[in-house]
Amino acid sequence: MTTTAAPPTAAPPAAPRRSGAARGLVTHPTAGPLVALLAACLFFSFQSEQFLSGGNLSLVVQQVMVVGTLALGQTLIILTAGIDLSCGAVMAFGTIVMAKLAAEGTLPPLVAIAAGIGVCALFGLANGALVTFVRLPPFIVTLGMLNIAFALTHIYSEEQTVTELPGLLTGLGETFPLGRTDITYGSVLTIVLFLCFAYLLGRTAWGKHTYALGNSPEVARLTGIRTTRLQLGIYTLAGVIYGIAALLLVSRTGVGDPKAGQTDNLDAITAVVLGGTSLFGGRGAVLGTLVGALIVGVFRNGLQLMGVGSIYQTLITGGLVILAVTVDQFSRRKVRR
Amino acid sequence: MKRTFRTALPLAASLASAALLLTACGEGAKGSAGSVGSGPVKVGLITKTDTNPFFVKMKEGAEASAKKSGAELSTAAGKFDGDNEGQVTAIENMVAAGVKGILITPNDSKAIVPAIQQARKKGVLVIALDSPTDPQDAADALFATDNLKAGELIGRYAKAAMAGRPAKIATLDLAPGVAVGQLRHDGFLKGYGIKDGDPAVACSQDTGGDQAKGQTAMENCLQKAPDINLVYTINEPAALGAYTALKAKGREKDVLIVSVDGGCTGTEAVKSGKIAATSQQYPLLMAAKGVEAVVAYAEDGTKASGYVDTGVNLITDKAASGVSAKDTAYGLENCWG
Amino acid sequence: MSTPVLKARGLVKRYGQVTALDGADFDLMPGEVLAVIGDNGAGKSSLIKALTGALQPDEGTLELDGAPVRFRDPADARRHGIETVYQDLAVAASLDIASNMFLGREIRRRGPLGSVLRMLDNKRMREESAAHMADLKIGLRSLTQAVETLSGGQRQGVAVARAVAWARHVVVMDEPTAALGVKESGQVLDMIRRVRDRGLPVVLISHNMPHVFEIADRIHVQRLGRRVAQIRPSDHSMSDVVAIMTGALTVAPENGGTVGAEQR
């Protein structure tokens, strides 16, 4: 282990009973990002009276659900010490496939959605197969796949934005009232997905194996874990999640847009990193990713409310990523004996 | 891992409940738009990107106008040319911030429509700048240069300047499916008196309005048809790229380059003879007029509507008979960028 | 003479032009600590991998308790009761101790929580881990701490405890003391003794002659892809053994698993 290797997701070095709350906060991977998120919220609530309104907070969640969901898939892959540059492009292709099939009207909308998610899953499978069996570096494989998905999107869509979609595709963008605030179904779906994967990673053998694979594929293999199947499954699953993100995107914008998602791959990686997951694999948590995505959304929204131009939002997000990684490393090193 | 989940779940739960709490009590008496006290009128400007000098100038025009009328301008942009979701997010955030009106150059004329409709439903005046929405009446008004007319003007000039010589034309266009590029292209052909698919058009390439890509496109066109003698370009950067490519072949003297846009660098290039002529448009005017319209709307509720042309002039020092033109001195005085 | 627990005859493994194993034999007797030594490139690792399913020999046979076996992969060897502690590859650093003990063999909750939701029984796994650790007298404060927060010796302890907990036939340890300090090495050697005392034979691969002489009942000397000697540490000096290892000294051909070696 190198000294930079952060202690894990799991558990403070001492039994929790004996460890102070503060210590738990420092060692918990999601704690730092969460504190940052709350601090940002506090700051913006002083800067803009609109910020803390229910409508605005619901808006922030809506705005991060697409990138957040992509980042969920991305987290799974990064936990295995991989990276997926193709996620945004794959999502865009899924978007176009489901939108076009549904708009043409020859297929029932549900089948169109399934087909869109299906092609995303196939891309995930292809990524996974190339990484697992051909043993190519994930960076290169997914870079290639990014271009393939991008091109297919433009070929298949004929550069046309698809409109006039059936209600089923945009249903997740509909809202229901909670108190006096409208919440979109998509926001709920996103949060439920995150909770599901927090459970799967934290409480099932599959989750432990995923972390073990990220720590060291060789250790995992020698322990008897079927690493090839596991890795292939994770990439495919990530593809399915991108497909769900595609549906969320369609529902959010109400159209199938071939130009969507071009920077979403890096945005998703940003959310993962802000959420405290290590790019070296094996350490992190999906709920951190949700917090990371929310941090980006809160800054974008809060700065807009303050009237700060979008290029400064980009500037600040860049600074935040570096800050997040630095703080994370620093606090973990300190705790480490 | 168990520990992680155990601590993470309450964290998430408390986060969620905090959000709900805020949601429930935060949605106070504040209306969604416009009713935030008697402060300055808030105007939002959403450009395609932050980086294109055209939009930078547009922003400056809006800022100057806002200052003059005591309005408060906030700006945002898509992350890349074609980024619809970023613009949707910006609209939502601006509406949340309580703007009275939004000026937008849509990245995707169709895909942006649902978000614009949402904003208008909340009483926000939405004016499309530069490029129309699809359908055009999705926005309250369109303040734009007439790109078809600008193209037509330069096409007529080209026809006159060629003085009956048979033309071999290269068109260096913008990008597939983008209205501005399509309109200028169509206008050029119309002004020249030919139709798409005419054998006189020897080569058509997309440049994204970028100088390097313009150069590459011209190089490729010269490979395809070495005897090209007329080059139409989407804007001056593309034109300068084409000039560089032609110069490398020693052809810069006997090829006529015409363009659309009329930026200052571009107009300088007309003055120095690299570009024969350009159709100059006035983006600062659009933004300035847009801000004025929003302020008028805030003051007495008059809504701007329909199409407002901000004008176009042919700029050249080599006037061709039958086409009225201004010289580069005028062009430099009125150019943007 | 009892039947060897694990026996190999004529193992061959080639990688292109390189022959890693060149007709290697191997015998592990019940209840013994057998050290496997050899110079770098002598084929120790390949031998161990072949015995634990991590590689498939091109030729040769394996017998477990006198019955012929073939291991497709490490999991297969493990199912046959052979547990291995790999050098540097023992544990998943970011997982806690209990998770590592049960990695790949997790216990699920009883009832629908386990069968439908696949929820793990972390409590039971921690309790069982604690019992195993206590058996080997490995003192740790908390089983929920990630193994990367442990010292090298403790980490090795986790790996050994896991191997011992699951081994029914053989425990194989590849350089278990290589990365450790004096005190920690002592702890690991103590652990090996305790494993042997429970009746499990141990195969110990090591470069460290003092450790080998301290703990091994017999020594298998590997050279140029085959076994060149089987000796008792009490019969030979360390320098003799090193001489055999390097080829400076040769021993009479063995006769079918007999213990001992003769000097020329």
Say whether B26 and A257 touch across the interface (CB within 8 A). Answer: no
The pLDDT, as a whole number, for residue A71 is 97
Considering only CB atoms, which residues of chain C are within 8 Å of chain A?
54, 73-75, 78, 84, 86, 89-96, 99, 103-106, 108, 117-120, 122, 141-142, 144-146, 148-149
Using a CB–CB cutoff of 8 Å, tell me whether A220 touches chain C: yes
Question: Smallest CA–CA separation between C254 and chain A, in Å?
Answer: 33
Top mean-pLDDT range of B221-225, C175-179, C255-259: B221-225
B3 touching chain C per CB within 8 A: yes
Q: What is the DSSP string of C87-102?
A: TT-S--TTSBHHHHHT
Interior/surface letters B205-241, b for 16+ CB within 10 angstroms, e for the rest = bbbbbbbebbbbbbbebbeeeeebbbbbbbbbbbbbb
Which pLDDT does position C1 carry in this prediction? 59
**Residues B270-314 pLDDT 10s:** 999 999 999 998 878 888 999 999 999 999 999 988 888 888 999
CA distances from C137 to C80, C98, C132 (A): 26, 16, 9
Residue C17 lies in a domain: yes
Interface residues on C facing B, Cβ-Cβ cutoff 8 A: 95-96, 99, 120, 122, 144
CB count in 10 Å sphere of residue C95: 28
**In a 3-state reduction of DSSP, which class is residue A158?**
coil
Residue B28 pLDDT > 70: no
pLDDT at B201 over 50: yes
C-alpha–C-alpha distance, residues B305 and A123, integer Å:
46
- What's the mean pLDDT in A149-173? 89
- The tally of domains found in chain C comes to 1
Residue C120 is assigned to a structural domain of this protein: no
Question: What does C207-244 look like in DSSP terms, one character per residue?
Answer: S-HHHHHHH-SEEEEEETTEEEEEE-GGGS-HHHHHHH
**Do the domain assignments include residue C124?**
no
Q: Which domain holds residue B183?
A: 147-280+314-334
Is C65 part of a structural domain of the chain?
yes
Per DSSP, A136 falls in state -
**Confidence check: pLDDT of A133 > 90:** yes
Instruction: Tell me which chain B residues have a C-beta less than 8 angstroms from the C-beta of C95.
Output: 1
Helices of type H across B164-319:
179-192, 211-224, 236-248, 264-271, 283-300
pLDDT exceeds cutoff 50 at C101: yes
Query: Does B105 lie in the same domain as B151?
Result: no
Q: Which domain holds residue C212?
A: 6-91+151-246
pLDDT single digits (tens) C112-149: 888 888 899 989 999 998 888 887 777 777 788 888 88
pLDDT at B299: 92
Are B185 and B324 found together in one domain? Answer: yes
pLDDT at A137 over 60: yes
Distance CA B268, CA B271 (A): 5
Query: In the prediction, which pLDDT does C253 show?
Result: 54
Virtual torsion, Cα C53, C56, C57, C58, nearest 10 deg: 170
A178 near B CB under 8 A? yes
Provide the pLDDT for residue C175.
87
Supply the angle between the helices B179-192 and B147-162 in degrees, to the nearest 10.
Answer: 30
Q: Do B4 and A163 touch (CB under 8 A)?
A: no
Q: Residue C160 falls within a domain, yes or no?
A: yes
Q: Which residue of A has its CA nearest to B50?
A: A311
pLDDT surpasses 60 at C254: no
Contact A255, A165 (CB under 8 A): yes
In a domain, B309, yes or no: no
Range from A249-253, B204-208, B303-307, C253-257 carrying the lowest mean pLDDT: C253-257
Percent of chain B with pLDDT over 70: 88
pLDDT of C89 reads 66
Per-residue model confidence as pLDDT tens digits over A231-241: 999 999 999 99
Rounded CA gap, B243 and B245, in Å? 5
Q: Tell me the residue type at B301.
A: G
Q: Is residue C75 part of a domain?
A: yes
∠ CA B18-B19-B22, rounded to 5°: 85
A205-214, B17-26, B177-186, B248-257: range with highest mean pLDDT: A205-214
Q: Is B197 left (phi over 0), alpha (psi -120 to 50) or beta?
A: left
Residues B98 and B165 in one domain: no
Please report the pLDDT score of residue A9 as a whole number: 37
Length of chain A: 337
- Identity of the residue numbered C35: A
Site from A192, A257, A270, A286 to mutate, B interface, most B CB atoms within 10 angstroms: A257
Considering only alpha carbons, which residue of chain B is nearest residue A291?
B12
Hey, are the CB atoms on B176 and A305 less than 8 Å from each other? no
What are the tens digits of pLDDT across the range A13-62?
Answer: 333 333 444 444 445 778 888 988 999 999 999 988 888 888 888 989 98
What pLDDT band is residue C258 in, cutting at 50, 70 and 90? very low
Q: How many CB atoms lie within 10 A of CB A31?
A: 20
Q: Which of A69-78, A198-207, C247-256 has the lowest mean pLDDT?
A: C247-256
Touching C (3+ Cβ pairs <8 A), the chains are: A, B
Closest Cα of chain A to B24: distance in Å? 5
Between chains, do C95 and B2 touch, taking CB under 8 Å as contact?
Answer: no
Pick A129 or A26 by higher pLDDT: A129
Q: Which residues of C touch B1 (CB under 8 A)?
A: 95-96, 99, 122
The 3-state DSSP composition of chain B as helix, strand, coil percent (nearest 5) reads 45, 20, 35
For residue B192, pLDDT beyond 60: yes
Residues B162 and B59 in one domain: no
Interface check A259 vs B, CB under 8 A? yes
Higher local confidence (pLDDT), C217 or A8:
C217
Which domain CATH number covers B293?
3.40.50.2300
Minimum CA–CA partner of C126 in chain B? B2
Nearest CA in chain C to B6: C122
Q: Does B1 touch chain C (CB under 8 A)?
A: yes
How high does pLDDT run on average in chain B? 85
Q: Does residue C211 lie within any of the structural domains?
A: yes
Which of the four pLDDT bands, split at 50, 70 and 90, describes residue B158?
Answer: very high
Amino acid sitting at position B201: V
Q: Give me the mean pLDDT over the B221-234 stretch.
A: 92
Exposed, middle or buried: residue C202 (CB in 10 Å: 0-12, 13-18, 19+)?
A: buried
- Chains with 3+ CB–CB pairs under 8 A to B are A, C
Size of interface A-C (CB pairs under 8 A): 110
- Compute the mean pLDDT over every residue in chain C, rounded to the nearest whole number: 86
CA distance B1 to chain C (A): 7
Q: Which chain C residue is nearest to residue B3, measuring alpha carbons?
A: C144
The CATH code of the domain at A52-328 is 1.10.3470
* Contact across the interface for C142 and A216, Cβ inside 8 Å: no
* Residue C50 counted as domain residue: yes
Q: What is the pLDDT of residues B230-257, one digit of tens each?
A: 999 999 999 999 999 999 889 988 999 9
> Are B88 and A50 a contacting pair at CB < 8 A?
no
B139 Cβ contact list (under 8 Å, min separation 6)? B104, B116, B120, B126, B127, B128, B132, B133
Tally of domains within chain B = 2
Taking residues B258-276, what's their average pLDDT? Answer: 92
Q: What pLDDT does residue B311 have?
A: 86
> Å from A307 to nearest chain B CA?
5
* Residue, of A3 and C234, whose pLDDT is higher: C234
Is the domain of B110 the same as that of B67? yes
Chain B residues within an 8 Å CB radius of A276: none
Q: Which residues of C touch A284 (CB under 8 A)?
A: none
* Residue scoring higher pLDDT (A120 or C144): A120
Do residues B76 and B173 both lie within one domain? Answer: no
Per-residue pLDDT at A334: 53
Contact B110 A262 (CB under 8 A): no
Each residue of A278-314: pLDDT tens digit?
888 898 999 999 999 999 899 988 988 888 877 888 8
Q: B309-332: per-residue pLDDT in tens?
A: 888 999 999 988 888 899 999 999
Mean pLDDT across B137-156:
92
For the segment A54-99, what is each residue's pLDDT rounded down to a tens digit? 888 898 998 899 999 999 999 999 999 999 999 999 999 999 999 9
Give percent above pLDDT 70 in chain A: 89
Tell if the CB–CB gap between C144 and A220 is shorter than 8 Å: no
Domain contains B185: yes
CATH number at residue C231: 3.40.50.300
Contacts of C96 in chain B (CB under 8 A): 1, 3
**Which chain C residues are within 8 Å of B3, Cβ to Cβ?**
96, 144
The region that residue A244 occupies, defined by phi over 0 for left and psi between -120 and 50 for alpha, beta otherwise, is alpha
| Cβ separation B24–A54 shorter than 8 A | yes
Q: pLDDT category, B122, cuts 50, 70, 90?
A: very high
